[in-house]
Chains A and B, each alone.
Chain A
């Protein structure tokens, strides 16, 4: 009897150890955690893109890992990061400790992704960010490679490149306004929501806008969730502004565009307005968001690469809307994670990182490659510029979102002109043209 008890205890202990410590033994799937604010468009983009990729890959038999085929299994995690960063870290912890995923993709708010990043790194899991732009996410990799090497940026380009692209797009619009309306000196109002990602953009604006030959008419920092910006708009108009350079990733992008349109403020809205990237923007602004321009990743008619159109067409057919940039989870799985696993024949994160950080490949958003910093250290941050991901500029023109940049763009004096397929000329709003007509 005593021996039987001992045997039973031994058996239970063995069972416990094997289930807790070696759960991956015999695993037939590659688990990818998809983390994002799932009740919001950004999280839905994360999930939809990943679902499309997983379905396509699984339909072809799965991923070849060494000599066996493994299917992709997605694990959905609602980070609720718009409302609570703690929810985001809890969701990441759950993916790591309970779901035991092999990879994580997603995240949106920089504040939340920085916190989630630490958890994923602690578990030494590859985490590809598909939403946050803050530079620190990648400078951490260079500064402490051993800890943060498992993090890569999937989308968008970093804050510095975002602001650089916004300046280029703003300069393009300023050039058009100068040429067509004869405005000698363009005055620019900078309106950036009060959020971590937008903070470094303010000194950049102060330094760069005068260098472009324009004047800053003022800087406004509304709350990211402000629902009434009448006061700001009145002040902006009082400051004789020609261009409003916006940096909005939250809901404030809707009332700002709507009220500016309703009040017929004679200033062109350019910059970043994440809400204006969505199909629902027209309804959300009751059509008052006409002529708003924003930096963007996808547009139904614009093709930065030959892989863009098939992806967008399939996405629209499947989900009935244009993908936002967080849907780049599709490209991250299809063109990054899966090929690298097949090339190395392993799920070992350290071996995968070595290949990922040096590899360059084409995906639906452009050519993707990873940068090093000026000391030659790996950043795992996306390369930017002609030939790589540049993002695009889209404008709402009479209820339709069209691509307007890059249109005959020259990155430098001697560089060739770049125009993506499907891009059309920018339009000045009629009330702006009327206001400055001589």
Chain B
């Protein structure tokens, strides 16, 4: 990389300043991500996130392919939540081309998206606790649960992670009654898992001492920085795209948006736990109400779709925050402009403000609580 990013003398009143380059292969960075950290003793005085190591030219590839061929690439943005990525993109195309989605497909979308949210939060909390030194146990418990959700995805869409499941105007394959019964068997067991997970460490004195008051993100700063998702809600801002936009059929479900108070790492950790509980509520309602019928609008031309010239922005509440896809069509078979608003990247830009004055060890857990996936940050 390039030379030092900041002049050493620029930090006024500093003692001996040490520059540490954390990453790109540091195990705590959840991927290939680097932080240029300036330390005075153990205290962080400057921090600069450096990313782009996993840049794969996602937007340009999508602009050079047909509308259909971008869907498998969206799987690879946030590779833990391929279902919600598919949904965000399909929503944008549906807005652009004016496509309606059948009722049953909407319900299936909600079911798979909420399952995705559950497994993402379980995994994230597992990793976060792993970062804090709770080696293994919480992560293994989380992955045991995630595994069950991934098995469901595999029997539905054919792949565990790169599902490529949704299409504009619906979903690719219908779920069978047997599959729905599997989900109905799994969902009632999920609250028991959340209880167990919470009991493990929620009231743990060491964890509380470590996380409460660490990595504080004030409410106003969070809003100004464009932070979204559980991280914004942990700072006490009531903003959830599922409630604000009511995309799909989210206005039919009765669920609450948990809010934090302090905006520290502990709040962000609890936010995920509480959201898992709300997710179970949505799943129960969706599984109760799912109707029969078609799963895709048969009139939609998936291959060779040519939306009228215009633009559209589709946004959803992905597990990490507001995931948006902005498309401009010039009437041809591929988008003129394709732009992703990745929640984890925008949440990551505020990292320095959360870490200043903290210890270097707290940088690791603050980063862990942001919930980044580098596939989405770098695209």
Does A pair with B? Answer: no
